[in-house]
Amino acid sequence: MRTFVFPGQGAQAIGMGRELAEAYPAARAVFDEVDEALGENLSALIWDGDIETLTLTRNAQPALMATSVAAMRALEAEGFSIRDAAFVAGHSLGEYSALCAAGAITLADTARLLQIRGTAMQEAVPVGQGAMAAILGLDLATVDRIAREAAGDEVCQAANDNDPAQVVISGHKEAVERAAALARAAGAKRALMLPVSAPFHCALMQPAATVMGDALAGVDIHEPAVPLIANVRAEPVQQPGAIRQLLVEQVTGSVRWRESVQFMAAQGVTEFWEIGAGKALSGMIRRIVPGAATRSFGGPSDLAALRG
């Protein structure tokens, strides 16, 4: 049994998707439609721009989605189908890519939503007031306890439960720094402050959640072709109203990636195909489910391995 998974922010790279667009008209059409929906030449930034500009949240989110959906369209041109999967799932913004690929939200609406989301998340907290840190070598329960202890009257919480030995925390900068120090004292292998522009997936993102609630209210959402494993629930959802609500909750809620992968594996999924830029999710999945078969598809050269 197979599932398609879609990467989140951090996977962006200059040139991503270019070979897909050159090899597959359907993939090129994705980038053209995203450019038109946003009223700007995002594809030029993706292929020939500078990484600092591409990494800005308002650019990175639609860019990564466009690359993932272009990859899915290329796979479809090669005879694969979204319906070949038992589930779809995405890491943070990748959840939007998954929903678009599964036909729940149109490509144009997805691009516009992600640009709104990226801008709102960037503007929710003044620069320098928030931070995120990756805690390596401690489990979620331990990190959660440390985050609560470090928070005091500020915000510090587990933002991404990525795999058994990697949890990302998010919140006020000083609280995150206190938590990182406590994690090191508790035996963490590493506690790394992350080079991010805002403290994603924590209560400080509430202004962005409000913005997304308004934006999503004006968008048609349909039942996806296959169930989505939602970030904030780590369980399948297909009902459009539930999807809309969970996308709002996702802005401030934790990305329960470890539990999501465990759920899919428990349902019989043995192959995880990462669709789009990078291979970060594949590494997490192998740590969550040792022995799981992972494949990545981000360009034409990856096709042979998928057919193997």
Paired with 228 in beta bridges are 88, 237
85/99 Cα distance (integer angstroms): 13
Residue 266: CA atoms inside 13 Å, Cβ hemisphere, count?
10
Residue 142: CA atoms inside 13 Å, Cβ hemisphere, count?
17
State the catalytic residues: 92, 201
123/119 Cα distance (integer angstroms): 6
115 and 58 in contact (C-beta within 8 Å)? yes
Contacts of 210 (CB under 8 A, 6+ apart): none
